[in-house]
């Protein structure tokens, strides 16, 4: 029964996922058209057009396309949050978490902060002002269907645009490398050489040095030099040496060797251990963004409703029905308040992890978007910054956020869900 329910849930999410992508492309076109309508006097409109295209539309399009052609098994490559092939997996580690932390800290590495709104602002500020940020977060890459458990880095000469960094993923229980070799962790280490635009998504991102083997060897060398108890074995030609690109469009090359760093003899650092399960269960950013947008939608409902009421158009029908102006006003305001409260209640349930509330909110957003679309296609009110473009944008952003894989995974794995306790990396998702 659970498997059937999961299949139905997958199909529902797939529909919302694809529809949200199409709606986002429409939104980007509407914003661009609005910019053209006002000419160079409104050139600032091209900035939100670029932001919508680079950070919303293209990533969703990539995720839909990569679902069709990127293999869903281990191929020695990570994936970006957009579904593109990311940095190569170029290091394996044996040892528990405390020993991994101890080895990296001894080697002069610094734990990177988790990516959050505050840390993201910090790295933007450090990059623009060229100030040091030793614990700057790294972007999420996916392996085993989830983002890295933690990451370490070394900033170069206090320049936030240049740094050594390595991401770590705990291997699933009982998982073996191809060839039957057991390891506890897999890692991807690369060197950030500059900040630039992604070739595939047009996003601002770090550009990596193409020789990933140099960074791999640097990680191994720093650890083994500082911790004599750490040993290394190498799987030769683990993957065929190749010249390719990562998710940012940067060229990468490697000889295909995979070092296995054994730190089982290193004294662990329990003080550095983080609660991985707790971090995996943390509310994802898309859920919190959706909650804020739902609250904004409720506020807009009240504002536009009160403006419409103040125009007096509603009272014509009330008068014809024999209802006084005061009674009609009370009824209209009360109705608005009820709908706004219902909106906020669903927003609270979404934040609490209710998958049912998430689906209902996505359905309401979809109906609203389709209503806008039908009205627009039939020659009704034109969408512009003076009319209801903002309302449409909020509906699309809510749908985009709640249909994301991170929001879907988190809601399904909540304790209220029948699948509670299912590891996130075991869940079958509709679109990677």
Instruction: Determine the pLDDT at residue 329.
Output: 66
Instruction: Determine the pLDDT at residue 331.
Output: 66
User: CA-based Rg of the chain, rounded to a whole angstrom?
Assistant: 25
The neighbour count for residue 303, using CB atoms within 10 Å, is 11
Q: Where are the domains of the chain?
A: 2-66+281-426, 80-272
- From the number of C-beta atoms within 10 Å of its C-beta (0-12, 13-18, 19+), residue 33 rates as middle
Helices assigned H by DSSP within 378-420: 389-402, 405-412
The Cβ-side half-sphere exposure at 140, using a 13 Å CA radius, reads 18
Compute the C-alpha angle 197/202/203, nearest 5°: 70
Rounded to whole angstroms, the Cα distance separating 50 from 304 reads 28
Instruction: Determine the pLDDT at residue 182.
Output: 93
Instruction: Determine the pLDDT at residue 422.
Output: 35
Q: For tokens 């590891």, name the residue.
A: 423
Rounded to whole angstroms, the Cα distance separating 291 from 286 reads 9
Strands 185-197 and 242-245 come out as unpaired
Tell which residue, 99, 262, 269, has the closest CA to residue 183.
262
- Give helix 2-38 / helix 355-377 axis angle, nearest 10°: 40
Rounded to whole angstroms, the Cα distance separating 400 from 126 reads 30
- Give helix 405-412 / helix 285-310 axis angle, nearest 10°: 100
- 138-156: b or e for each residue (b if 16 or more CB lie within 10 Å)? bbbbbbbbbbbbbbbbbbe
Instruction: Determine the pLDDT at residue 87.
Output: 86
Coil/strand/helix, residue 180: coil
Dump strand ranges (E) for 325-407: none
With beta carbons less than 8 A apart as the criterion, state whether 277 and 422 touch: no
Coil/strand/helix, residue 45: helix
Rounded to whole angstroms, the Cα distance separating 51 from 82 reads 15
Strands 181-182 and 185-197 come out as unpaired
With beta carbons less than 8 A apart as the criterion, state whether 185 and 93 touch: yes
Instruction: Determine the pLDDT at residue 56.
Output: 84
Rounded to whole angstroms, the Cα distance separating 24 from 27 reads 5
Q: What is the pTM of this model?
A: 0.73
For the chain (432 residues), the mean pLDDT of every run of 10, in chain order, is: 60 90 89 68 69 83 82 83 84 94 92 73 66 76 89 79 88 90 93 70 69 89 93 86 60 83 89 64 82 90 72 56 61 78 92 92 94 78 61 91 88 54 34 36
Residue 218 Cα distances to 118, 136, 153, 166, 425, angstroms:
30, 20, 12, 11, 30
Our CA dihedral for 265, 270, 272, 278, rounded to 10 degrees, sits at 120
The DSSP bridge partners found for residue 151 are 167
């Amino acid at each position: 029964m659970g498997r059937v329910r999961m299949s139905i849930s997958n199909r529902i999410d797939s529909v919302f996922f694809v529809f949200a992508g199409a709606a986002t492309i429409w939104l980007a076109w509407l914003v661009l058209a609005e910019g053209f309508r006002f000419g160079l006097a409104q050139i600032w409109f091209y900035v939100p057009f670029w932001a919508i295209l680079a950070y919303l539309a293209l990533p969703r399009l990539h995720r839909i396309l990569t679902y069709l052609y990127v293999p869903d098994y281990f191929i020695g490559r990570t994936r970006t949050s957009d579904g593109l092939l990311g940095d190569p997996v170029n290091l394996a580690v044996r040892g528990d978490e405390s020993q991994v932390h101890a080895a990296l800290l001894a080697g002069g590495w610094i734990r990177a902060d988790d990516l959050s709104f505050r840390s993201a602002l910090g790295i933007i500020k450090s990059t623009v002002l060229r100030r040091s940020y030793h614990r700057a977060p790294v972007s999420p890459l996916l392996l085993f269907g989830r983002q890295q458990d933690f990451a370490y880095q070394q900033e170069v000469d206090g320049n936030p645009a240049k740094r050594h960094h390595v991401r770590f993923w705990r291997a699933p229980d009982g998982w073996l490398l191809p060839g039957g070799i057991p390891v506890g962790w897999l890692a991807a280490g690369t060197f950030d050489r500059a900040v630039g635009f992604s070739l595939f998504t047009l996003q601002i991102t770090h550009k990596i040095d193409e020789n990933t083997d140099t960074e791999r060897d640097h990680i191994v060398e720093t650890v083994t030099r500082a911790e004599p108890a750490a040993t290394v074995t190498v799987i030769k030609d683990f993957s065929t040496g190749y010249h390719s690109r990562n998710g940012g469009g940067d060229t990468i090359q490697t000889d295909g060797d995979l070092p296995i760093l054994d730190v089982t003899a290193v004294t662990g650092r329990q003080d550095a251990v983080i609660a991985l399960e707790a971090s995996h269960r943390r509310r994802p950013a898309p859920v919190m963004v959706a909650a804020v947008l739902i609250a904004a939608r409720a506020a807009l409902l009240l504002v536009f409703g009160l403006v419409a009421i103040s125009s007096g158009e509603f009272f014509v029908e009330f008068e014809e029905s024999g209802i006084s102006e005061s009674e009609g006003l009370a009824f209209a305001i009360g109705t608005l308040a009820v709908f706004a409260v219902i909106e906020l209640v669903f927003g609270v349930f979404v934040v609490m992890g209710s998958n049912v509330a998430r689906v209902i909110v996505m359905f309401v957003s979809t109906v609203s978007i389709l209503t806008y679309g039908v009205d627009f296609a039939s020659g009704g009110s034109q969408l512009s910054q003076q009319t209801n473009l903002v309302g449409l944008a909020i509906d699309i952003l809510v749908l985009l956020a709640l249909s994301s894989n991170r929001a879907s995974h988190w809601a399904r794995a909540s304790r209220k869900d029948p699948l509670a306790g299912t590891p996130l990396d075991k869940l079958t998702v509709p679109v990677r």
